[in-house]
Amino acid sequence: MKKVLIVDDAAFMRLTIRSILEKNGFEIVGEAENGEKGVQKYKELKPDLVTMDITMPEMTGIEALKHIKEYDPNAKVVMFSAMGQELMVREAIINGAKSFIVKPFTEDHVMQVLNKILII
Amino acid sequence: MDVKYLNPFMNAIKDISAQVLGSSPIFKKPCFKETPFDFDEVLIIIGITGEINGKAIINLDKSSCVQIASQMMGGMEMQFDELSKSATSELFNMIMGKAASNFEKEGIQINITSPTILEGSNIKVSQKEKILSVPVSIDQIAMTVNISVEIKAA
């Protein structure tokens, strides 16, 4: 079972992502409500995949992505953000995000993206 | 504040309401609001930074908040609590994210802050910038979207 860490400042969004992933056979090993805690939990839990929001207090998802990739260049991080501007997507991909899912999303789209990443 | 900056927000409300709530919003005539002004029940504040600066202040009552959360949770029965507030603020986070994409299409880059939620009665808001206020209804959900934006000085 693939282990996932969910990083998002909105409790509602963490619950939504958790329910989609658990329904599809993933194990949620941890949740974090900001980028700083996300980086700490990545180091503790060593998940197979991270879902990362961008607009968060304390540390943004882009900063957290940079820290995680510095610590583990093979980390698989997928951005989940309402900020789908081209510049934002480009910045995430340049910094090592495997993919970018714009909110609102559908379960089918999320599973398609995550399964593809985990096969690679 | 130039009224032309209102369209990217209104189009974002239309698109995200259709996708997330499955309904089309009805907009009433926008008007400028003098500050300070009073709000009741729930306020969601999202800051706008980048090539334009400002904020969106969304005012709605608790029952609208519960209605939004319930629809976002697939029709689940909800109460007014931290989860329904989180769902409502996430809806407006998505709306503002979509508005940022709409601005990008017009060559303007903006970013947004995490939503801040306030609740109470007779909340007084004072700010220097003029606020453009638009009443919006989506089925049983009623809210007022208050936008203030200014082009950042070079």
Global pTM reads: 0.93
Q: Which residues on B lie below 8 Å from A10 (Cβ)? A: 86, 89-90, 93
Q: What is the pLDDT of residue A90?
A: 95
Q: Which residues on B lie below 8 Å from A103 (Cβ)? A: 90, 93-94, 97
Task: Kindly report the CATH number assigned to the domain that includes residue B93.
Answer: 3.40.1550.10
- What does the alpha-carbon distance between residue B149 and residue B151 come to, in Å, rounded to a whole number? 7
Please give the span between the terminal C-alpha atoms of chain B, in angstroms, as a whole number: 17
Tally of domains in chain B:
1
3-class DSSP assignment, residue B120: strand
**What is the count of residue pairs from A and B with beta carbons less than 8 Å apart?**
54
Q: What is the pLDDT along chain B (154 residues), one digit of tens a residue?
A: 677 789 999 999 999 999 999 999 999 999 998 888 888 899 999 999 999 999 999 999 999 999 999 999 989 999 999 999 999 999 999 999 999 999 999 999 999 999 999 999 888 888 888 899 999 999 999 999 999 988 776 5
Residues of the domain holding A87? 3-119
Nearest CA in chain B to A61: B114
Q: Which residues on A lie below 8 Å from B87 (Cβ)? A: 12
CA distance B34 to chain A (A): 30
Task: Kindly report the CATH number assigned to the domain that includes residue A109.
Answer: 3.40.50.2300
Phi, psi dihedrals of residue A118, rounded to the nearest 5°: -75, -20
Q: What is the pLDDT of residue B153?
A: 63
Residues of the domain holding B97? 3-151
pLDDT, chain A, mean: 96
Which residues are CB-contacts of A119 (< 8 A; sequence separation ≥ 6)? none
The strand pair at A77-81 and A99-102 is best described as parallel
- What does the alpha-carbon distance between residue B7 and residue B102 come to, in Å, rounded to a whole number? 9
Tally of domains in chain A:
1
Kindly provide the ipTM of the predicted complex, given to two decimals: 0.90
Nearest CA in chain A to B69: A12
Q: What is the pLDDT of residue A94?
A: 97
